[in-house]
Amino acid sequence: MNYILEILPSLLAGAKLTLEVFIWTLVGSLPLGLIVALGLMSRFKLVKGVLRFYVWLMRGTPLLLQLIFVFYGLPILASWLILPRYEAALVAFILNYTAYFAEIFRGGLQSIDKGQYESARVLRLTYWQTIRKIVAPQVVKIVLPSIGNEIINLVKDSSLVYVIGLGDLLRAGNIATARDVTLVPLIMVGIIYLMMTAILTFVLSKLENHYSYWK
């Protein structure tokens, strides 16, 4: 018990970094994902082509490789592209998750019946009124389970930042395990991840419930 209390502060410090990466990635990639989704449905072939390539690249290569590339690779390409570790991690995560969210949003947007747009149009709603009042609430309900899945993934993916030397939760546990030759820190790391995902699962199911008043 004493040992647990002894290593807890370092684990919690790691968990704090994990949460920061998690939150900032969401803050950046959710809105960007929506914008990219709109771009993927654009009439402009060039916009569409560029964004398709971007999504293909992000989904087609490991996040670990992207992380390494942003931190170690970019400075080799151009000397002004040196990013501190933390910022490099955020850039890589946001770029990666934006691609996944964009595909989810695109699916949601395309599943809205065109009759909904036509109804709104003959009622003289403007484009933005239609998006805000008619399309968005329906898309949110449709994409919520898939978004939730990605959000849970993100909590665990954030452990990849150890590769560029950031002290997240997993790294803190790893260090303690190597130093003290015991599995206790890693078990605690597992428990902390489980608690974080349990809270998220709870919040997400609340949100889904909130949208269950209509079908």
Using CB under 8 A, list all residues that contact another protein: 113, 115-116, 118-119, 121-126, 129, 133-134, 137-138, 141, 213-215
Task: Extract the runs of DSSP E, i.e. beta strands, from the chain.
Answer: none
Question: For residues 18 and 155, is the Cβ–Cβ distance under 8 A?
Answer: yes
User: Closer CB to another protein, residue 116 or residue 149?
Assistant: 116
In the complex, what is the shortest distance from the CB of residue 213 to another protein, in angstroms, rounded to a whole number?
Answer: 7
In the complex, what is the shortest distance from the CB of residue 215 to another protein, in angstroms, rounded to a whole number?
Answer: 4
User: Closer CB to another protein, residue 126 or residue 149?
Assistant: 126
Dihedral of the alpha carbons of 107, 113, 116, 117, in degrees to the nearest 10:
70
Three-class SS state of 211: coil
Question: For residues 164 and 173, is the Cβ–Cβ distance under 8 A?
Answer: no
Dihedral of the alpha carbons of 51, 57, 62, 66, in degrees to the nearest 10:
-80
In the complex, what is the shortest distance from the CB of residue 108 to another protein, in angstroms, rounded to a whole number?
Answer: 13
Cα distances (angstroms) measured from residue 151 to each of 156, 178, 197: 9, 30, 9
In the complex, what is the shortest distance from the CB of residue 47 to another protein, in angstroms, rounded to a whole number?
Answer: 24
In the complex, what is the shortest distance from the CB of residue 111 to another protein, in angstroms, rounded to a whole number?
Answer: 12
What angle in degrees, to the nearest 10, is found between the helix axes of 184-210 and 136-157? 180
d(CA 91, CA 103): 19
User: Closer CB to another protein, residue 126 or residue 182?
Assistant: 126
User: Closer CB to another protein, residue 77 or residue 124?
Assistant: 124
User: Closer CB to another protein, residue 118 or residue 180?
Assistant: 118
In the complex, what is the shortest distance from the CB of residue 106 to another protein, in angstroms, rounded to a whole number?
Answer: 20
Measuring CA to CA, which residue among 77, 87, 90, 83 is closest to residue 29?
Answer: 90
d(CA 185, CA 117): 54
User: Closer CB to another protein, residue 121 or residue 179?
Assistant: 121
